[in-house]
Structure 1
Amino acid sequence: MSDFSTSLAGFAAGPIETTLQTRIVTSLSVLDWLAVGRAGQDEPVSTVVRDLVLGEEGASQAHLFGGGAAPTRGAALVNGTVSHALDYDDTHFAHIGHPSVAVLPAALALSEWDDRILVDFLEAALVGMEVSIRVGLWLGRDHYQAGFHQTATAGAFGAAVAAGRLLEFDADQMHSVLGLTATRAAGLKAQFGTMGKPYNAGLAAAAGVEAALLISKGFEPNSGALEGPFGFGATHKGEANAEAALEGLGDEWLFESVSHKFHACCHGLHAALEAARDLDIAEPEVAEIKIKTHPRWMSVCNQMNPTTGLGSKFSYRTVIAMQALGYDTALPGSYSEKNCADSRLISLRDRISVEADETLTETQAHLTLLRRDGARREAKHDLLAPMSLSEREDRVRGKVAKLIGADEADAIWSMLRTGGRARDLAKRLEG
C-alpha cells in the first residue's frame, strides 16, 4: 500500500471524532441536497435517467427523486443526476467539486436498503465527502484543467468510501474499494452545459455503490490502482501533492468549509451577487456598476446579452441587474426567457461592465456602484470568508423553504437533527 491510500483507507474505516459544527454543516448539506433534488426532479435529464432505471427489472431497494424505487446502484445513478440537474448544490473550492451530489445518493441508497439509522448515514456521508475532497486535492488543478470533472472523479472515491463504511469495511477492504473505484471513476468537463454534466454526478454515485457491493462479495481488484504506474493519478494528470492532501486528516474536517449556493446560477457569479447584496443595490439609484472578477470566470459566466433562462445563469450583467430589480435570484424560475426580455433589465444591464482582475482569487469579486446622485460605493466579497454557523443555517433553511415549502423544510430539518431511520428521510425524496 502507498502512504496516501493507506492513510485514506485507515481514516475511512476507523473511528471518527466530530464537532457540533461539523455535524450541523453535514446536516445542512443533506437538507440542501434534498431540496435541490426535489426542485430538479422534473428537469429533462432527470426524466430521461429515471425512466431508464425504472424500466429495468430489479428489487425496489431505494427511493428516487420524483417517485418510484430501484436497486441501490440505479437509485444512486438517478438521485445523483437529479440533484445536480439544476447545478444548485454545494461546492468545495479546494478542488472545485460538488461533494454532496456524488456521495449522498450512494450513502442514502445503501442506508435505506440496510435500514440504517440517520446517524449512520450522516457519519458515512461525512467521511465520504471528506475523502472526495482529499482525493480532489491529491489529483490537483492539473487534473481539472486537463478536462476531468472533479465531481465525477474525486466524487466516485468519496461515494465508494461512504458505501464501504455502511457495509462496515475494514481498512483492507477500504483500500480495495479505492483501487476498484480507480477503474470506474470517470467524467469530463466536455459535458458541461449539457445533460452530461449532472449525469457525471450520477455516474460517480453509482460507481461507488457498485464498487463497494463487489468488494463486499469478495471481489479482488488491484488495490493499488489509485496510485503508482498506470494508476488513476498517473493516467489522469493527478498526484499533485499527497502530503498536502492528507494534512490534518482525522483531526480537521475540510468539508466544514463547503460553500452552499444561495443563488440558482453558476457559482462563479455568487461572489458578485453577495457583494451586490452587501451594497443593497436598487435599480432607481444605479448610474453604473463595475464588476471585477478572477480571469478564469470571464470565459465561464460572462455572457453579455443572454436571451434564455440558461444563458442568464452564466451572465454577470444579467444576474446583477436581476438582483437590483428585485428578482429573487434564489429561485430557479427567475432565470427565464421572459425576464431576459424585460426592458428594464436590458436598460440596467447596459450600465454594467465586467473586467478581469488577476489580483482577485477565484472566490472573490469586487463591485463599484456609481449612484445617480454621484455617490460612489464599493464592496468586495469572498465566498471563503467565514460565515457563522447560525447565519449559514438561516440561509440554507431559507433557501430550502423557497424550494420545497417552509413546513416541509422544517420537518426534514427536525428529522436530521433529532434522528430516526434513513428510510424515512429517503421517502421525502418523492416530494
Structure 2
Amino acid sequence: MMRDFTADLAARVTALKAADVPAPIQERAAQSVLDWIGVTVAGAAEPAASIARSAGDGGAGPATVLGVHAGAGVQHAALVNGVAAHALDFDDGSGWMLGHPSVAVCPAALAVAEEAGASGEALLVAVVVGTEVAARVGLAMGESHYRRGWHGTGTTGTLAAAGAAGGLLGLDQTGMRVALGLAATQAAGLKAMFGTMAKPLHAGRAAMSGVLAAKLAAGGFTAPLDAIEAEQGLAIESDDFRPEIVEERLGGAWGIENTRFKLHACCGVTHPAIDALRALTTDGLAAGDVEHLVIEGGPLVWRTCQVDRPRSGLEAKFSLRYTAALALCGRPTTPEGFTDEAVGDTEVARLQDRVELREVERPGFGVTLRLRLRDGATLAQEADSAGAVADAGLPAQRTDLTRKFIDLVAPVLGSAGSAALLESVTALPTARTVADVAAGTLPAV
C-alpha cells in the first residue's frame, strides 16, 4: 500500500495554480459549473430541496441558495445547493470517482468563493482541484467500495468538496492533509438510500462537510495526516484499496477529463440501455413489437437499479425495467418522465411486465439487451456507458449543455433571466467575483 497517498494528493492540489490549468481543462470546469447551475436552479423546486432549506440552519451569511435567496450561511448554502443539484439526478458523473463530482464540489466551491470574494477564475480552479481529488480517491478506492454499498458521491465527494474549499481558503500542504482527514472521518453515503430523498442528501452533506473540514483545518484543527491510507482510515471502506494504480489509470489525464454529462434524468447505470433502445426505435422498432426483453448486467448494474415496480418518480430513476419501458414507448427521459404522475402511465406499466433483469458475470456498467419480437425474430444488442468527450468535442458539448441549461432554467427565471444568467456563467473565466452568477440565479422580485 502506498504510505504517502494523502500527502502526495495534498501536495499536488495545493501546488495547482490558475496558470497551470490548460485552456481545455478550464473549459471542462466551466461546463461543469454551467451544468451544475442548471440542474440546481431547476432542482430547487423539488420537495427534497425545500425540506432541506427549512430543516437546516438558515442563519444569515454571504452565500446564495441558488434559485431561491441570498444571504445564507456558507455551510447551509452548500448543503441545500448540493441537495437541489442532485434532486433530479440529472447532474454529471465520473467513472473514476464512481459518483457525481459537481454536486459535491460546486456547492462547496461557490459558497466559499462568495464568502472570500474570489474571482470566477479561482472558482474554476477550485472545481478542477475538487474533481482531481474525486478522481484520484475514487480510483484508489476501486470498484469494491461501490459494490459494498458505499455511494461515492457521499464518501469520495466529501474529500473532493474539502479539496475545492481548501484551495479557495489557501490551505498549505499540511492544512490540506488535515482537511482531507476531517473530510474522510465525515464521509458517508449508502446505496440503500437510492430512490429516496436521502440520495441527494449525500451530495448536500458532502458539500457541507467538505466546507466544514476546510474551515476547521484553516483554523488550526487537527486530524491524522494520513487519514485516507491509514490502517483504520478511509481505505477500510474498500476491499482493493490500491493507490499505486492511480497514475496508470489516469494515463496523464486530469481528473475532470472523465466527467460526463447526462441527457437522461435518472441513474447513469440505466443510460446504456436507454440509448440502445432509443436507437432501435429510431430504426423502426415499436413498443408493441416487443414480446420480451432481457437486460443482462454485472453486479455493479444489478445492485444499483433493480427497483422492480417503482411507486414514485424517485424510485423510477433506479428502475431498469421502468427506464427501458420508457425508452421503448418514446416517452421523455428528461425530468418530465420521472414524476409521480409519469410512473402511472399505463402503457409504460404494461411494457415493464415484459422486461426481465438477469445478473451475469461481467465488469463495469455495460449491459446486453436480448429482445424477442412478436413476429418471432430476435435481436441482441450490446450497450455500455458513453465515455467523456475528447477536447475536440468540447464545443459541441457546450452547445448541448447550453440547450439543456436553458430548458432547465427558463421555466424558473424566464427567457430573459435565463439568457442573462447564461451570459454571466459564460463570463466566469474573466469575472472579478462570482457575485453576478450567484445573484443571476434568483428570480426577479
TM range (shorter): 0.7 to 0.9
* Equivalent-residue separation in structure 1 for 2:378 and 2:149 (angstroms): 41
Question: Match for 2:332: what amino acid?
Answer: D
* Match in the other structure for 2:273: 272
Task: Map residues 5-44 of structure 1 onto 2, 5 A cutoff.
Answer: 5-15=6-16, 17-44=20-47
Displacement, 1:242?
1.1
* Match in the other structure for 1:301: 305
* Equivalent-residue separation in structure 2 for 1:150 and 1:218 (angstroms): 28
What residue ranges of structure 2 are gaps of 5+ in the alignment?
Answer: none
Superposed CA offset, 1:181-232 (max 9, x none): 2332233334333332222221111111112112222223332333323333
Displacement, 1:253?
0.9
SS of aligned partner of 1:61: strand
Displacement, 1:139?
2.2
* Equivalent-residue separation in structure 2 for 1:386 and 1:260 (angstroms): 8
* Equivalent-residue separation in structure 2 for 1:293 and 1:337 (angstroms): 27
Superposed CA offset, 1:335-361 (max 9, x none): 2444344343344444444434434x4
* Match in the other structure for 2:384: 382
**Considering only aligned residues, what root-mean-square deviation do their CA atoms show, in Å?**
2.9
Question: Match for 1:61: what amino acid?
Answer: P
Question: Match for 1:404: what amino acid?
Answer: V
Change beyond 3 A, Cα 1:402–1:268: same
Question: Match for 1:395: what amino acid?
Answer: D
* Equivalent-residue separation in structure 2 for 1:139 and 1:231 (angstroms): 12
* Equivalent-residue separation in structure 2 for 1:368 and 1:413 (angstroms): 43
Question: Match for 2:331: what amino acid?
Answer: Y
SS of aligned partner of 2:142: helix
* Equivalent-residue separation in structure 2 for 1:12 and 1:28 (angstroms): 20
* Match in the other structure for 1:50: 53
Displacement, 1:240?
0.8
Q: Tell me whether 1:400 sits opposite 2:409 in the alignment.
A: no
Question: Match for 2:437: what amino acid?
Answer: L
* Match in the other structure for 1:427: 439
* Equivalent-residue separation in structure 1 for 2:425 and 2:245 (angstroms): 33
* Equivalent-residue separation in structure 2 for 1:362 and 1:159 (angstroms): 26
Equivalent residue for 1:115, pick from 98, 109, 117: 117
* Match in the other structure for 1:205: 207
* Match in the other structure for 1:261: 262
* Match in the other structure for 1:73: 75
* Equivalent-residue separation in structure 1 for 2:169 and 2:256 (angstroms): 22
* Match in the other structure for 1:184: 186
Superposed CA offset, 1:250-304 (max 9, x none): 9421321222221112222111111122221553673446343313333532344
Question: Match for 1:93: what amino acid?
Answer: G
Query: In percent, how many aligned pairs have the same letter?
Result: 35
SS of aligned partner of 1:151: coil
* Equivalent-residue separation in structure 2 for 1:10 and 1:380 (angstroms): 42
Asked whether the 8 Å contact 2:147–2:303 carries over to 1, the reply is: no
* Equivalent-residue separation in structure 2 for 1:71 and 1:254 (angstroms): 30
* Equivalent-residue separation in structure 2 for 1:98 and 1:384 (angstroms): 15
Asked whether the 8 Å contact 2:191–2:304 carries over to 1, the reply is: no
Change beyond 3 A, Cα 1:176–1:246: farther
Equivalent residue for 1:142, pick from 140, 144, 153: 144
Asked whether the 8 Å contact 2:260–2:387 carries over to 1, the reply is: no
Displacement, 1:125?
1.0
Displacement, 1:106?
0.7
Change beyond 3 A, Cα 1:42–1:21: same
SS of aligned partner of 2:155: helix
Asked whether the 8 Å contact 2:44–2:68 carries over to 1, the reply is: no
Change beyond 3 A, Cα 1:303–1:193: closer
Single out whichever of 249-258 and 100-109 deviates more from structure 2: 249-258
Change beyond 3 A, Cα 1:366–1:110: same
Asked whether the 8 Å contact 1:401–1:408 carries over to 2, the reply is: no
Superposed CA offset, 1:46-89 (max 9, x none): 1222113354x3x4210003423322122111111221122221
Task: Map residues 119-134 of structure 1 onto 2, 5 A cutoff.
Answer: 119-134=121-136
* Match in the other structure for 1:415: 424
Q: Tell me whether 1:315 sits opposite 2:319 in the alignment.
A: yes
* Match in the other structure for 1:99: 101
Single out whichever of 189-198 and 90-99 deviates more from structure 2: 189-198
Asked whether the 8 Å contact 1:397–1:409 carries over to 2, the reply is: no
Question: Match for 1:316: what amino acid?
Answer: L
Change beyond 3 A, Cα 1:306–1:233: closer
* Equivalent-residue separation in structure 1 for 2:238 and 2:127 (angstroms): 27
Asked whether the 8 Å contact 1:60–1:70 carries over to 2, the reply is: yes
Asked whether the 8 Å contact 1:272–1:291 carries over to 2, the reply is: no
- How many residue pairs are counted as aligned between the two chains? 426
Displacement, 1:124?
0.8
Change beyond 3 A, Cα 1:95–1:289: farther
Question: Match for 1:365: what amino acid?
Answer: V
* Match in the other structure for 2:165: 163
Change beyond 3 A, Cα 1:239–1:196: same
Asked whether the 8 Å contact 1:257–1:384 carries over to 2, the reply is: no
SS of aligned partner of 1:430: coil
Superposition TM-score, scaled by structure 1 size: 0.88
Change beyond 3 A, Cα 1:76–1:20: same
